[in-house]
Amino acid sequence: MSSTITETVDVDVPVTTAYDQWTQFESFPEFMEGVEEVRQLDATHTHWVTRFGGVGREFDATITEQHPDERVAWHSDSGPDHAGVVTFHRLADTRTRVTARMEIDPDGFAENVADKLGILDRRVQGDLQRFKRFIEERGQATGSWRGEVPPPVG
């Protein structure tokens, strides 16, 4: 049974800075708990190495939609079944709302217990708070990818 997690954080950087940093998937281990490595394989494919509750997992994910300064959507291709979208909303010239919405089908005992106890929601909120600190302390993105990935047809 899948769960939906939606968390939001406001960051004190322009929307382009927040978006550009989020597209630097290989920097995710710097602010995402349990993410040990993300490798960008090509424009729409990533490989993840994670650890949750002492259990290591590797999986691939596909970016299904990407629009600069607006949204990044993905789904897993293997491993834990999940999909999501992160949206970016300009609140002011130097303030952006980042919203993460994920559909997760907990895989295994640890993830199911964590889901029922609200641990997964808190982890996503913690990741967004760490992203906020990471990007506000830097003041600029570590890189950018401004390409478009149109939504799938059908």
The verdict on residue 12 lying in a domain is yes
The verdict on residue 85 lying in a domain is yes
The verdict on residue 143 lying in a domain is no
Residue 66 belongs to a domain with what CATH number? 3.30.530.20
The verdict on residue 132 lying in a domain is yes
The verdict on residue 10 lying in a domain is yes
Q: What is the pLDDT along the chain (154 residues), one digit of tens a residue?
A: 668 889 999 999 999 999 999 999 999 999 999 899 999 999 999 999 988 777 788 899 999 999 999 999 999 998 777 899 999 999 999 999 999 999 877 665 555 555 555 667 788 899 999 999 999 999 999 988 888 888 877 6
Q: What is the pLDDT of residue 128?
A: 96
The verdict on residue 145 lying in a domain is no
CB-based burial, 108-146: b 16+ in 10 Å, e otherwise: eeebeebbeeeebbebbbebbeebbebbeeeeebeebbe
Total number of domains constituting the chain = 1
The verdict on residue 150 lying in a domain is no
Q: What is the pLDDT of residue 116?
A: 58
Range of 19's domain? 3-138
In the chain the beta strands, taken as DSSP E runs, fall at 3-11, 35-42, 45-52, 55-67, 71-76, 81-92, 95-105
The verdict on residue 65 lying in a domain is yes
